[in-house]
Amino acid sequence: MGVDKIVKLVGVIVAVVGAFVAIPYGAALVALLGIAGGWFTEAEDRQRLLIGALTLIAVSGALGAIPAVGEYISTALGGLSGLLNAAAATAIVLGVVDRLKP
């Protein structure tokens, strides 16, 4: 298992666990892990990452109406959305840099 997969896995774990327990500086940690995950994303996978980030933005709060567990699911999906949004922002910057290279 490479560093890229470990960073992405730790990011997902922190984002999901943050829905159930309070993690000090959890949002900053998720954002940093998302940035690192976006850095390790291959150029051919960037489009899939951007679509996933947009999809999670749209549906992260949709399951909040489920009794007893909806709030936790929505919070977990919100954390994953933050992770993917940070990764997508990094992927966008890397895409622009790749296009500007001679």
Per-residue pLDDT of the chain (102 residues; tens, 9 = 90+): 888 889 999 999 999 999 889 999 999 999 999 999 999 999 899 999 999 999 999 988 888 888 888 888 898 999 999 999 999 999 999 999 999 988
Cα(65)–Cα(76) distance, rounded to whole angstroms? Answer: 14
What total number of domains does the chain contain? 1
- If we measure between CA atoms, which residue out of 27, 32, 36 comes closest to residue 5? 36
Could you tell me the residue range of the domain that residue 44 belongs to? 3-100
Residue 5, Cβ density class (10 Å: 0-12 exposed, 13-18 middle, ≥19 buried)? exposed
pLDDT tens profile 18-32: 988 999 999 999 999
Provide the whole-model pTM. Answer: 0.89
Alpha carbon distances (Å) from 102 to 11, 41, 44? 33, 21, 19
